[in-house]
Structure 1
Amino acid sequence: MRDGRPLFVLHGCPGSRYLRHIGGVYERHQVRAITYDVPGYGLSTRRPGHRVVDAADDVALIADQLGIDEFAVLGISAGGPRALGVAARLPERVTRCVTELSPAEYTASDLDFFAGMPEAEVGEWERPAAHDAAWLAEHDFPELRAWLDKPDPVPELSGELHDMLVQTFREGIVNGPAGYVDDLISLSVPWGFTLDEVKAPTKVMAGTEDEGIPRQHTEWLVAGIPDAEAVWSPGGHIADHSAVEDRLIAWLAGTRS
């Protein structure tokens, strides 16, 4: 809805502009949701070497073009660090911030990043940090494409949520590996800002059974952001979190304290 309260929704890795919350939640809370493709995904031009914090420039440009002065921001999974980067770089424009299922910073010196993480998940992080773009395009991307080529790559979900997420993933890699590989690398290097630069009130949502994002990641984010609160939702990384998301979007819209 074009006359609602503006909310930028930032997708993860992989992802695309098709990421959204389901069930009429935006209409219910009078929110104008704005999404876009991170560089190299979907319809977006590739920008080699882009950093997490560079999302702030993208959001500022889009907001200016739409004539929006202030807005809330929400990032899901790898979109979480991007949302925080937007809040850090645009403190005069970001009213509130939410991260959902967000990892901590891979290079953080005050965090045991891998504690409690299954070996398979550890590998997902170590490969981008250890290998160059060519290696990732040749070895990592084909695994992702094979997964998304399955008739049902996310059997954990069903209905509208399932269809939206599959569409989001598939659109993200429609033009090949470049955007995905660039994104992986951006998440394995410093984000380009510090958490204490995030001045907007922030809620950090995490899944109680999310093995890929251990509890200490959420605790690290909350401890570093000056005005932050953890919000726990039952389930893992790929799960239906719509009940908690409804409350978070109401809060972002200013209709819930």
Structure 2
Amino acid sequence: MTTLSHDSDGTGRPVLLLHSTVCDRRMWDPQMVALASAGLRAVRVDLPGYGDSPVPSAPYNPADLVIETLDGLDEFAVVGSSGGGLVALEIAARWPQRVTALALLCTAGPEMTPSAQLRALWSQENALLEAGDVAAATELMVDTWVGPQADDATRAHVRVMQRHAYEVQLAAPEVDELEVPYAVEAITAPTLLISGAHDLPDFRDIAEGLTARLPVATHLPLDWAGHLPNLEDPAALNDLLLPFLTDH
């Protein structure tokens, strides 16, 4: 069994935090103390190939690895950002009896059709990485995904996490991620979907589409946010997130 690197703070009801694929579990630094102070137990995980979690040596499913890591937690809320939101959706759909609430920040979607703008970004990123220019690829990601509300320290924080992810993944052999079929309609948890006006439009469209498909869902667009609102303005995001999590 592969156990993902993780840590926690607080002693109350568990809240699982799943990071964006631009970052690692350190992106939740601004939320850890806030959640613990609100009487919740914040549990953050490094997904495979990020932070301190290596790329597995055999084909794997990220959601399965997260569930294995949470052995002993029968019920928990989930907060997922971007690519971590996609893992959160899978967990909430495959194990609906365990997920008490679901908050998705600028989430990716399971049936996502990328826009021309997003496809061009991925193409540029891949070209830079194939050319060995990890620094330029990192700057491209920081410039794209960090919104205008963020300060220089936040941009530097994201830069460190993104560069580390590239270094870990480029050094590892290619291993397939296993897809397990699921339907988002199986999700029963109350869901809060947040999108940012300064993000690529794909993620607003995903939030709107999921809001229409999930049984109890609210979409909250933020006029100040980019793709990483929990880092761009932690206090403002916490003011929205904590009431939702404590109510459910």
Structure 2: state its 5+ residue gaps.
1-8
Structure 1 residues 203, 27: CA separation in 2 closer, same or farther (over 3 Å shift)?
Answer: same
Q: Counterpart of 2:191?
A: 202
Distance (Å, rounded) in 2 between the aligned partners of 1:141 and 1:94:
42
**Aligned match for 1:122, one of 116, 119, 126:** 119
**Aligned match for 1:236, one of 218, 226, 230:** 226
Please state how far the C-alpha of 1:95 moved relative to its aligned partner: 0.8
Please state how far the C-alpha of 1:140 moved relative to its aligned partner: 5.6
Distance (Å, rounded) in 1 between the aligned partners of 2:131 and 2:27:
20
Moved over 6 A (4+): 178-182
Please state how far the C-alpha of 1:99 moved relative to its aligned partner: 0.6
Structure 1 residues 147, 99: CA separation in 2 closer, same or farther (over 3 Å shift)?
Answer: same
Residues 57-84 of structure 1: CA distance to partner in whole angstroms, max 9, x if unpaired?
22221221xx322111111011111111
Residues 153-168 of structure 1 aligned to structure 2 (within 5 Å) = 156=148, 157-158=150-151, 161-168=154-161
Structure 1 residues 139, 171: CA separation in 2 closer, same or farther (over 3 Å shift)?
Answer: closer
Identity %: 26
Structure 1: state its 5+ residue gaps.
129-134
Q: Counterpart of 2:80?
A: 75
SS at match of 1:148: helix
C-alpha root-mean-square deviation of aligned residues, in Å? 3.5
Distance (Å, rounded) in 2 between the aligned partners of 1:58 and 1:225:
25
Q: Counterpart of 1:131?
A: none
User: 2:90 is matched by which residue type in structure 1?
Assistant: G
Residues 24-173 of structure 1 aligned to structure 2 (within 5 Å) = 24-47=33-56, 49-50=59-60, 54-64=61-71, 67-105=72-110, 107=111, 113-114=113-114, 117=115, 119-124=116-121, 127=123, 136=126, 139=129, 142=132, 145-148=135-138, 156=148, 157-158=150-151, 161-173=154-166
Residues 11-49 of structure 1: CA distance to partner in whole angstroms, max 9, x if unpaired?
122332222051742233223221222112232232465
SS at match of 1:124: helix
Q: What TM-score, normalized to structure 2?
A: 0.75
Asked if 2 retains the 8 angstrom alpha-carbon contact of 1:7 and 1:71, the reply is: yes
Residues 107-149 of structure 1: CA distance to partner in whole angstroms, max 9, x if unpaired?
45xxxx35xx5x4423235x59xxxxxx959846845542437
Asked if 1 retains the 8 angstrom alpha-carbon contact of 2:81 and 2:107, the reply is: yes
Structure 1 residues 90, 155: CA separation in 2 closer, same or farther (over 3 Å shift)?
Answer: closer
Distance (Å, rounded) in 2 between the aligned partners of 1:58 and 1:241:
30
Structure 1 residues 34, 192: CA separation in 2 closer, same or farther (over 3 Å shift)?
Answer: same
Specify which structure has the higher proportion of helix. Answer: 2
